[in-house]
Chain A
Amino acid sequence: MTSVLDTPRTRLSGPEPSGQGPRRRLVVIGNGMAGARAVEEILARGGAGQFTITMFGDEPYGNYNRIMLSHVLSGEESDADIFLNSLSWYQDKGITLHAGVRVDRIDRFTKHVFSNDGRVTPYDILIIATGSRSHMPPMDGLYTPAGSVKPGVFAFRTIDDTRKMVAYAQHEHHRRAVVIGGGLLGLEAAYGLRSHGINVDVVHSAGHLMSAQMGPDGGAVLRRSVEALGIGVLTGSRTTAVLGSDRVTGISLRGGTDIPCDMVVVAAGIRPNVDLAVLSGLPVERAIVVDDRLRVQDEDDIYAVGECVQHRGEVYGLVAPLWEQAVVLANHVTGTDTSAMYLGSRTATKLKVAGVEVASMGLHGPELDTDEHIVFSEPSRGVFKSIVVRDNKMVGATLLGDSRKVAYLTEAYDRGLPLPEERIGLMFDFGTPDGDAGVGELSDDAQVCNCNGVSKKTLVDAVQGGCATVAGAMEATRAGKGCGSCKLLVRQVVEWAADGAVEEDPVANYYVPAIPLDKQALMAEIRKRGLRSVSAVFQALAPGGEDARSKMGLASLLKTMLAERYMDERDARFINDRVHGNIQRDGTFSVVPQMKGGVTSVQQLRRIADVAEKHNVPLIKLTGGQRIDLLGIRKEDLPQVWADLDMPSGYAYGKSFRTVKTCVGKDFCRYGTGDSTKLGIEIESRFQGIEAPGKLKLAVSGCPRNCAESLVKDVGVVAVEGGRWEIYVGGAAGAHIRKGDLLATVDDPEQVKVLAGRFMQYYREQANWLERTYAFVPRVGIEHLRGVIVDDAQGIAAQLDAAMQASVDSYVDPWLDRDDPQTPGQFRTSLPLTVLPQVPVR
């Protein structure tokens, strides 16, 4: 998106803070992307010297990137990662932030704002940035009799909305969701919920998806791509009611169809928040009316910015206009450039929606008889391109599934560039390498990153100044650090500018963040230099020295590589591995004694019961891996609990081999064909405590009925008729669900143990830190694994077996620390003295 305004975007330094007279009082209502950005722009113009700044925010947080909420929902980003300004930023800048406080009224005559905490705050200059809220279209049953939204119904607007949706979606009873609204936000919500394994239907009232951004043909192609993700789509359907008395059980569509579901997400558009402005007597039509200086109509000291604003009849619901408005507003408020004018924005959408590349600008289709309409459609690949040309100028485009020409088309649209005679050249590059042409065609001052206003030239200069990686150029220019939708284009520009000399973005390949080496290179360096401890590795290989977030991964790798030659440093371990228990949300730990193959005895049961009684264990629970979990053990009690149990650790914590689940097998079961229990116990005895890049959960089933759920384990073994055993790898039934791939079918249990061990060792050596087998196996491919592990295609099988044997031989039960603490205060309590939230006791 590019604005029509023509204002210098360079950050001029404003008047220096002077000692003369008190600073004026600037009050900002709204701490979202617009309010915070306006303040940033004001500070960049020397505003700190002119104003004492006070901000009010409805939400009890700093300022975050709302665009990224869909990534938080899908789990691609954590909510901590999307903060633009944390609370400390306000403190550092001397800004008074009233977070979680709502402004109820403005008195524009006495120049005060009144907030719901009883505070009366005077201002000299006021900025209103109240944004917008989700629109809840009228339908029956949306609210409870008490007037709150029915449990299970969500808007998708704030970080709290998102957190609640994630929590709800992860609840095991919640399997089905309906998203109302098939626009950008609705599709993002559907995609995000789908990644939690929820079945999702999208109900959209218009005839095709993203009807605001594209025509019916593009919508049809998008629909195919969305349906291919397993998302149901109902267009031309309106929701008339939310069903269920105290919680959601379904929805009703116009025409009488009901769709059962456990949750409803409403993404049916946004409405500007104008209540405050209306109450305070400010001019409001569709939104707060502002002039070209972003000043509220007929008010000298009140400005408004963002989605709550109506400018020349337009209300924007995208982020880029808001950046442009903030610049003009700041120029006026600080007096830096009083000639700056905002003349409106031309909006283009360029996004990845539900995993599909979508770009849209201007018209969706021809409107005049003389308009040319060029369309290319390849639904099977999810590719659709449509361009509208009027008077030899591009007036609109829609691109789906292939965004290589987006940069060029955006510029052609913004600037009215002359178009090629052969219109097909608008859509495709011929005879040129992929991507290059598109970027080469861009002019120097074409804006690549719209969030941070980074031009092609700025990026090219950064690359020529020595930033030869994409990450380096992004860091140096801030390009791609806003909404992130331009990352692909940034990469293309950097690659083009480096003329093939671009260094592959390495950070993604680092084994741990602090050391610029991938796993194999890191292992080679460790071997070459004979490093044996985590601190030695930091000293030799980490440019920035020790790094807390890299410690655990390095400790695991060194243990895997060196077995008993590893020099253990306790501070490199996560707390779980320092005290050999799983830390719980109240800071207590859980203790799981070993119970090989899920088999126990009267003596064990009695002892566990005695220990639980003696130590007042608040919760005794069977784990998913057939063991007994004693939850709520205080850290300082761990040694005594272990001593009283006098059983080995069952490894319910840590990134390591954990358990082998088994079924009854042939001894008792009518169907059992193999002795699964015996094999499970043998496997668990052999591999107990082995470290790995992620946890390893195994199972052995005695027949293809798979009562031990072997098909969804990291390594799963199934006895089949004829005394043979199938070995599956890379299965999962957790946050991700995946059926394991068949690695081999072998004739006897000994071979199972050899191949399982060889697979685990290969995984230990090759997988990225925290990469579970369900990601590792598809990444390297089952054929490759079969070659290495079964057929010894690389000739390393003996090496793998030997390395695993060394790890097996170095096993020591960590719970023996009970008699001989490894560090002073190893089991000293770290809990605060106040009462913590209790783990619920049933």
Chain B
Amino acid sequence: MSANHIPAGGKTFVLGPVEQIPLGEGRAFAVDGGQVAVFRLRDGSLRALPAVCPHRGGPLADGTIDLAVVVCPLHQHAFDLATGCSTTGADNLRPYAVSMDRQQNLVLQLPV
């Protein structure tokens, strides 16, 4: 199974208005007892990853992003926003599916 494959039929969470996240930044959300970092890219698209850097626990939602990667603020490990793969040799992350509904709410899907 490839890293960016999210099984369908997982749990769905509505996280509120997309405007909670400024363009080009990330914000962390508590979901289902865990923490998820949701990013709103400058082209308006959304990405979601686990909120904790696998290297030394850095807060990824505080990272700097572009259209491809997030760079952890603690030790500058980078992760592909779409696949969760580290581009700097850290462990990979598993991305979550995130989208927007008609009311412009963030919709996050966690795998089963």
Instruction: Compute how far the CA of A547 lies from the CA of B69 in the bound complex, rounded to whole angstroms.
Output: 9
Name which of A86-94, A138-146, A624-632, A692-700 contacts chain B.
Answer: A86-94
Min C-beta distance of A163 to chain B, whole Å:
12
Interface residues of B (CB under 8 A from A): 3, 19-28, 30, 33-35, 37, 42, 51-52, 56-67, 69-71, 73-78, 85-86, 88-92
Contacts A587-B57, A833-B35 hold; do A574 and B64 have CB atoms under 8 A apart? yes
**Which of B24, B42, B62, B71 has a CB less than 8 Å from the CB of A583?**
B62
**Which of A83, A578, A833 has a CB less than 8 Å from the CB of B34?**
A833
Contact present for B30 and A583 (CB under 8 Å): no
Closest A residue by C-beta to B91: A87
Mask: chain A, 571-594; 1 = CB below 8 Å from B; 0 = not: 110111010000101110000000
Query: Which residues from B are CB-within-8-Å of A833?
Result: 30, 33-35
- Whether A525 is near chain B, meaning CB under 8 Å from some CB there, is no
CB under 8 Å from chain B, chain A span 534-570: 535, 545-549, 551-552, 569-570
- Whether A530 is near chain B, meaning CB under 8 Å from some CB there, is no
- Whether A823 is near chain B, meaning CB under 8 Å from some CB there, is yes
CB under 8 Å from chain B, chain A span 793-842: 823-825, 828-834, 836-837
Contact present for B88 and A545 (CB under 8 Å): no
Contact present for A86 and B57 (CB under 8 Å): no
Contact present for B28 and A549 (CB under 8 Å): no
Band of interface residues on A: 35 or more
Contacts A546-B42, A571-B22 hold; do A828 and B66 have CB atoms under 8 A apart? no
Interface residues of A (CB under 8 A from B): 61-62, 64, 80, 83, 86-88, 91, 535, 545-549, 551-552, 569-572, 574-576, 578, 583, 585-587, 635, 823-825, 828-834, 836-837
Contact present for A88 and B92 (CB under 8 Å): yes
Contact present for A832 and B25 (CB under 8 Å): no
Contact present for B77 and A80 (CB under 8 Å): yes
Closest B residue by C-beta to A62: B89
Contact present for B64 and A548 (CB under 8 Å): yes
**Which of B23, B60, B64, B90 has a CB less than 8 Å from the CB of A552?**
B64
Query: Which residues from A are CB-within-8-Å of B26?
Result: 830
Most buried by B among A547, A569, A825: A825
Contact present for A575 and B73 (CB under 8 Å): yes
Name 9 A/B residue pairs within 8 A (Cβ), A-sorted.
Answer: A80-B77, A83-B88, A86-B89, A583-B73, A587-B74, A824-B19, A833-B30, A834-B52, A836-B57
Most buried by A among B23, B37, B89: B89
Contacts A546-B66, A548-B64, A825-B27 hold; do A832 and B52 have CB atoms under 8 A apart? yes
Contact present for A87 and B92 (CB under 8 Å): yes
Contact present for A548 and B20 (CB under 8 Å): no
Query: Which residues from B are CB-within-8-Å of A548?
Result: 63-66, 69-71, 78
Most buried by B among A569, A578, A833, A834: A833
**Which of A83, A91, A828 has a CB less than 8 Å from the CB of B27?**
A828
Query: Which residues from B are CB-within-8-Å of A578?
Result: 25, 62
Query: Which residues from B are CB-within-8-Å of A83?
Result: 88-89
Contact present for A587 and B59 (CB under 8 Å): yes
Known interface pairs A830-B27, A833-B33; 16 further A-B residue pairs with C-beta atoms within 8 A, sorted by A's residue number: A80-B77, A86-B89, A87-B89, A88-B85, A546-B42, A548-B64, A548-B70, A571-B23, A571-B25, A574-B64, A575-B63, A587-B58, A825-B27, A829-B28, A830-B28, A832-B59
Min C-beta distance of A166 to chain B, whole Å:
13
Query: Which residues from A are CB-within-8-Å of B35?
Result: 831-833
